[in-house]
């Protein structure tokens, strides 16, 4: 990835600003606690020198023990990127806060994750199924889903 600012620096900034929020730091990704996602995302979006103003994509992965929601952010100004992750450890109605208020681009993508992976985004103004019809049994991208 193009990285003018290394992920380490960004992570240490997040650690200073939100002590205890960072669960795990990877090479170019950072795993934050679900309850501090909104604050961390807003900080990344607005803080001087970071300015991650562009949301590349949102997706989710089912790892059986937990769901991982993945956000990739890019700063158009500085041309650097970071991947933000949150985990939900429950299979029964997993919930993460919605970032729709920060990025409108999250609108359809959060609906897609909700539809196919069954993760609820709290605070999303219009969270309903996007590709499948209402009443479709289950969420097909989950690993335990059977046809």
Using CB under 8 A, list all residues that contact other proteins.
Answer: 1-2, 53-57, 59, 61-62, 70, 72, 76, 79, 83, 103-105, 107-109, 112, 116, 129-133, 140-141
Q: What distance in Å separates the CA atoms of residue 139 and residue 145, rounded to the nearest whole number?
A: 7
Q: Which is nearer to other proteins, 39 or 102 (CB)?
A: 102
CB of 2 to other proteins, least distance (A): 5
CB of 83 to other proteins, least distance (A): 7
Q: Which is nearer to other proteins, 56 or 95 (CB)?
A: 56
Residue of 72, 70, 109, 86 whose CA lies nearest to 36: 86
Task: Give CA 79 to chain center in angstroms.
Answer: 20
Q: How many residues does the chain have?
A: 147
CB of 34 to other proteins, least distance (A): 20
* 115 backbone φψ class: left, alpha, beta (φ>0; ψ -120 to 50): alpha
**Per the structure block, which two tokens stand in for 38?**
């909104």
Q: Which is nearer to other proteins, 123 or 140 (CB)?
A: 140
């Amino acid at each position: 990835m193009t990285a003018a600012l290394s992920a380490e620096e960004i992570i240490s900034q997040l650690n200073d600003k939100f002590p205890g929020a960072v669960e795990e730091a990877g090479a170019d990704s950072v795993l934050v606690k679900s309850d501090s996602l909104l604050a961390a995302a807003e900080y990344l979006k607005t803080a001087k020198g970071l300015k991650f103003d562009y949301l590349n994509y949102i997706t989710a992965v089912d790892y059986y023990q937990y769901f991982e929601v993945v956000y990739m952010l890019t700063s158009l100004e500085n041309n650097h990127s970071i991947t933000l992750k949150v985990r939900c450890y429950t299979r029964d109605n997993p919930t993460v806060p919605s970032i729709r208020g920060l990025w409108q681009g999250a609108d359809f993508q959060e609906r897609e994750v909700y539809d196919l992976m069954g993760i609820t985004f709290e605070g999303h103004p219009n969270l309903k199924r996007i590709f499948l019809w209402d009443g479709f049994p289950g969420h097909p991208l989950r690993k335990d889903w059977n046809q």
